[in-house]
Structure 1
């Protein structure tokens, strides 16, 4: 075939390129000479700077900053320990598909690996001062003449400068001159082992068996052979050192094919890598790092059989995706607060989300160790058991025409600390539904809010007591718009607070909320991390919030009662260490006293009744009576949201069930049944978490007959009831008279006292030893 001739090609271009290359060599030699003079005695700086333009002679602090800018993979751990007493690894945080673990000392590396690097990359490393002029000139000459044999001209020091400080692989004179200057400077301020250590942390090795790009020899040893870098044998060390030249092409795990099942490229990469390994081994023998037997043993080693396998690596984002994303978010927020950033202020400024993303990247790439409060077995078992006996039902959302299945979120919190021990993020796998229904999704709480927003504050302010009566009756909504109703649309007249809470009556809760005052009530729940929306009104008293709250926050608010009225904000990260093992953050409890122990116990006592015979009696029937349990159900309008938040003396468990879009639930016991499943899983794994009884604090005070704010309504109800009874009696008397009935009086025998008096109606109050009325408990002097 006739060779194509490019008519536009300059016939002198080859000669010109050769001339330019030799000019390049000459300039490099001049740079070396002038740089040596400049760094040695401080003259000729102007000439050198005219070549390298804006490059300055960097101080040690400047170089320190450059060497410390390396990313390093961060890791997260469960709270439970392995057989050696170390926290169990959850996995590594995302670092844009990159994996790096830094050496802190060159002694962490097998001598086989350091010898392999020196043999193939820089045999004079421990002799030169940063550059080898003959090598630079030889490499430039080979490049200019297109020699068949090409040898590298850069020392290990120069490679460190190129890859980390300059981060520039261009081949122009200015870049090469900067590289030489900085290599010489680096050798002045660091010793050889420090330079070698940093070099081994920088080098790229392509993808490992885990599919991530490997940077640094620790990651390479792990990703290629599932070994610690100190345990590499000569063949493995030679293979790793040989990869520096072309990391992807020599990788046994790299494939350029779009078909990931195609192993052709992978096999070719392994064969190229083995060929390169043999070259490195021959150099190690030539320079005296291996004797003949060691050399032959290394050649005979079946390296391909020692390669790591993908299944040896735990991909945390595949196994625990919800945990990892939760840790990312909390880690970022923790580091932001550690740096003195005000999250609420950032949110007002519209900068919160962007700042959070910056810190998530920081959290993933600085070699941090995040120690969490999560228990591995508890998390696994409650997620396995939560749907036992529960069938998920699907519905079509009218607005989109799409079908959705029921969802669920749950949280287990330690009352005395706020530590999140486990959670249920979803009823579905992450690839089907990525919403975290424990930490992220807000839902209307329904009647589950009543203890924390209505009755808790009212008890604390002395406006009522558990046996005080409130009239359950029709009341108008604030601002008009109809009446408040109970779920069964019936009203019971005067009922005790305990009864109203036990059966989740709405109008007593609204009356209580109004008596406390909206802003004052909202201030109580703000102290527990439940921040109302600006549009929330008095309908929030029965769970009609604009957005609502997360399961995590609702569960932590109930833990406040279990903890004697002291609230501990929930948290997942207990401690953070930097890459050197220094503790840079340790969680410290920040207790907030929201309610008194007396108020908390009264709420707890009433909520026991909810479980034993109220709206959550199904739980009381399914759980062993030996456990001391209190809790509250919650249902939003049309059964769109179902809740049960319950607690024991040590832990609180909150469950929400519903659809991701407002549709009514047909399985109205789903949240309660899921709560029972979680409770029984915990009972099986660690029954001590459920043990104990709630202690009774002193000075519980006296019971009111009627809630202080409802006395007028109670009197009006009594008057109306009395009038009704009188009219009824009168009607009966008239009827008897008309029918001519004869009434025979009952005569009490002489000497026999009349029987004890009884109230004519349950609503009549005949309490003994109870002063009535009085304004509040705070006005009484209790013994």
Structure 2
């Protein structure tokens, strides 16, 4: 009887068990069907599976095909399977999904044996690589238990679909391009390799690969920066798994475990790398092009997102020359700032600069601290008290950033007294910009002074007036009395000043007048050729800022950017052709399809003979004039022309140098024009700007791979030169002409 009852109980329990099992299975099937029919939310479509969305950084590429910067929300750059070291693949499979090549997206054997795996020491997560990829690409992990169960089933369905659409190699590549590696928005194996080891994914060694793969399950707790001991233990676990799965021998695994982490940590953000100012300007330009040209994705309606769509932006910047330009700036500006500080030491800014209080007030109201306080509803009195209360801050110095405690108002004084500098270098024949240094430190001073800012150009404008004169038949050897000139007929009479110490007495040639930057002779030439032709030529040479047709423009009273002025001087070096300064060549999508091509404009600004004669005159500036220290101090002996420029009160210092292959403009000054050197000896362009040009060119000439040759001189026009450049011969011609005139008069 008892045996019968026991058998009935067993059958009853079996019946309950199987009912429960069938119910669970039915529920599971129903849930899968509901998820498949997207009752709990949409699943990725076929199109989305073919084109999975993953934010990718757009790359800025130099002319020598180096990545000089990125634009991103997530710092991610995709690579191909062949660009990934086998060590990375092996580490990933050994640690995350040992049966990756055997399953089709869902590993049921793995799913039902997680506990067993952990008991025997082979730690395995519940998701296959394909399932993790589905989560990375199409959703974000939910913290709600019920939603997470639904999401897990969605991952299963998506994982199966992924396996049907992609090969195993493609799945591994997609996965490694999407995973999060923690520090500073580092996504994908390419960015991780660069950030943690300053290398590329194909060069990762087994221990490096193990460290990075070990971070995947916990970028925070396994961070080699914040938790190096955790990272080391995790790396060694991955190496052990690689040994157990046969990817490394026991001896190799043990050897790699003894190695230190070996980090070459270089976090990447938008303030890092070269050409930071250039990249900021370029970003706005590219965004404007995408909108203005109505460039959309293949669907015809979705606009491109520069920070997410992995565009490739090809530029003309030469990474090596850019590096040289930044080095030259840093090398000399450190010295010049020391001169400036010593020059002002012990002198009251409040008493010496009448507008200083106003400048500080404006600087305070433009600061982020002031704007934030205003948003908080604080009164001006409260804000002023805050600005006079010491606080912690980080300041830029030429010896590196420093953390200090000071009053915010004093930090504004400090920044106002920091000299700024900008440089642009371009090939005059193509217009290609090779180097662009928009300021001294992008992290601290965001304003670009190459293209976005304009400053008074001073004597760098003088060649424009002389060029009009040459075009009208004047000779560089023409002699003019260097004496005061008054020009009338344009409003008030205008008589330029000339410093007695810098005035060359007597009668001098036009070439000498330009070389020594003589105001009176320049004014004489302006009076002969008139302001309107000069203003017209300036505009034709690419100056986009306002240039009024007044006599004073011959001395550079108008404002212009380094970008425009450098482009204008390219006309002299390029036989009269103005070629639009170009820094953006083309834009491609992540698949290499060309979205935009740039074609520079070309204008015949002056005839080739005039341009050639002007190169002869500009060489005089270096050979015997204000640019002489290029020869005497810096030892640059090859054919170089140029012009220094110094504005009123030494507020701006310029030097624009020309060679047949390179034209380079340099500007130096403070943020506010009222703050400047108090002596021309220190504040002139020959001291504030020319040395940076010299240091830059010396570096360029020292690298033959750049192809900028010392031996190349400016080529005369094919039609020949009818203007006499030999001043001795010119004197003889003039003497002969005078003799003939006397005879005719007789």
TM-score, normalization: structure 1?
A: 0.64
| Structure 2 partner of 1:163 | 136
- The reply to whether residue 199 of structure 1 matches residue 175 of structure 2 is yes
Other-structure match for 1:305: 259
Distance 1:590 1:73, change over 3 A: closer
Give the distance between the partners of 1:93 and 1:635, measured in 2 at CA: 37
Alignment equivalent of 1:650, drawn from 637, 661, 664: 661
Give 5+ residue unaligned stretches, structure 1.
1-21, 37-47, 80-86, 143-148, 256-264, 344-357, 704-761, 773-783
1:689 aligned onto 2:709: yes
Deviations 1:540-569 (A, max 9, x none): 343222xx2233432331221122111233
In 2, the alpha carbon distance for the partners of 1:299 and 1:374 equals 40
2:224 matched to which residue of 1?
Answer: 252
In structure 2, the residue matched to 1:355 is: none
Residue 675 of structure 1 is aligned with which of 687, 690, 705? 690
1:52 aligns with 2:40: yes
Contact 1:682 1:689 (C-alpha < 8 Å) held by counterparts: no
- Alpha-carbon contact 1:158-1:183 (below 8 Å) kept: yes
1:320 deviates by: 4.8
Maintained 8 Å contact 2:516/2:625: yes
* Distance in structure 1 (CA, Å) of the matches to 2:599 and 2:432: 11
Give yes or no for the alignment of 1:478 onto 2:490: yes
Tell me the residue number matched to 1:66: 52
Answer yes or no: is the 8 Å Cα contact 2:95–2:238 preserved in 1: no
CA distance in 2, matches of 1:605, 1:239: 62
1:495–1:575 Cα change, 3 Å = same
Answering whether residue 219 of structure 2 is matched by residue 215 of structure 1, we say no
Whether 2:605 is the aligned partner of 1:594: answer: yes
Q: Is the 8 A contact 1:498 1:606 kept in 2?
A: yes
Rg larger for: 1
Corresponding residue for residue 446 of structure 1: 458
Given the superposition, is the C-alpha separation of residues 183 and 651 from structure 1 closer, same or farther in structure 2, using an over 3 Å criterion?
Answer: closer
1:418 partnered with 2:431: yes
* Residue 475 (structure 2) pairs with residue 530 (structure 1): no
Deviations 1:499-545 (A, max 9, x none): 66455455775686688776764443334331123888664343222
1:333 maps onto 2:285 in alignment = yes
Which of 659, 662, 672 lines up with 2:670 in the alignment?
659
How big is each residue's C-alpha offset from its partner over 1:246-294, in whole Å with a ceiling of 9 and x where there is no partner? Answer: 23222333x2xxxxxxxxx43245335545765x45xx73xxx329xx5
| C-alpha distance in 2 between matches for 1:512 and 1:220 | 62
| Matching of residues 280-291 of structure 1 within 5 Å | 280-281=241-242, 285=244, 289-290=245-246
State whether residues 313 and 587 of structure 2, in contact with CA within 8 Å, keep that contact through their aligned partners in structure 1.
yes
Q: Distance in 1 between matches of 2:508 and 2:203?
A: 75
State whether residues 332 and 360 of structure 1, in contact with CA within 8 Å, keep that contact through their aligned partners in structure 2: no
SS at match of 1:661: coil
Question: How far did residue 181 of structure 1 move?
Answer: 3.8
On the 8 A contact 1:93/1:324 being kept in 2, the answer is no
1:475, CA displacement in angstroms?
2.8
- Contact 2:287/2:306 (<8 A) preserved: no
How far off its partner does 1:57 sit?
6.6
Aligned length: 615
CA distance change for structure 1 residues 218 and 304 in 2, over 3 Å: closer, same or farther? farther
Contact 1:25 1:137 in 2 (8 A): no
Judge conservation of contact 2:60–2:69 (CA < 8 Å) in 1: yes
SS across alignment from 1:475: coil
- Contact 2:643/2:656 (CA < 8 Å) preserved in 1? yes
Q: Which runs of 5+ in 2 are unaligned?
A: 1-21, 117-121, 296-303, 361-412, 703-707, 725-733
**What's 1:93 paired with?**
70
C-alpha spacing 1:392/1:94, structure 2 compared with 1 (3 Å): farther
Question: Is the 8 Å Cα contact of residues 313 and 584 (structure 2) preserved in structure 1?
Answer: no
1:292-323 Cα shifts (integer Å, max 9, x gaps): xx563365244362523236x596977755x2
Match of 1:361 in 2: 307
Q: Is the partner of 2:654 in helix, strand or coil?
A: strand
The aligned residue for residue 393 of structure 1 is 340
Distance 1:157 1:417, change over 3 A: same
Rounded Cα–Cα distance in structure 2 between residues aligned with 1:249 and 1:636: 58
> What is the TM-score with the length of structure 2 in the denominator?
0.67
The equivalent of 2:467 in structure 1 is: 456
Matched, 1:375 2:390: no
Write out per-residue CA displacement over residues 333-390 of structure 1, whole angstroms, 9 at most, x where no aligned residue.
Answer: 35754786499xxxxxxxxxxxxxx976369x54667663243574366346646986
Question: Is residue 88–residue 204 contact of structure 2 (8 Å, CA) maintained in 1?
Answer: yes
Q: 1:415 to 1:177 in 2, by over 3 A?
A: same
Give, in whole Å, the separation in 1 of the partners of 2:636 and 2:262: 53
Q: Trace 1:765-780 onto structure 2 (pairs within 5 A).
A: 766=738, 768=740
How well do the aligned residues superpose, as a CA RMSD in angstroms?
A: 5.0
Q: 1:271 to 1:690 in 2, by over 3 A?
A: same
User: CA contact under 8 A between 1:328 and 1:360: conserved in structure 2?
Assistant: no
Encode CA deviations 1:585-631: one digit per residue, 9 max, x unaligned: 78766433211112112333333444455555666765779644433
What is the deviation of 1:154? 3.3
Residue range with higher mean Cα deviation, 494-503 or 674-683: 494-503
Seen in structure 2, the aligned counterparts of structure 1 residues 76 and 625 have a Cα distance that, compared at 3 Å, is: closer
Q: Is the 8 A contact 2:210 2:239 kept in 1?
A: yes
Q: Which among 202, 225, 233 is matched to residue 271 of structure 1? A: 233
SS at match of 2:50: helix
Distance, in Å, in 2 between the alignment partners of 1:450 and 1:362 is 47
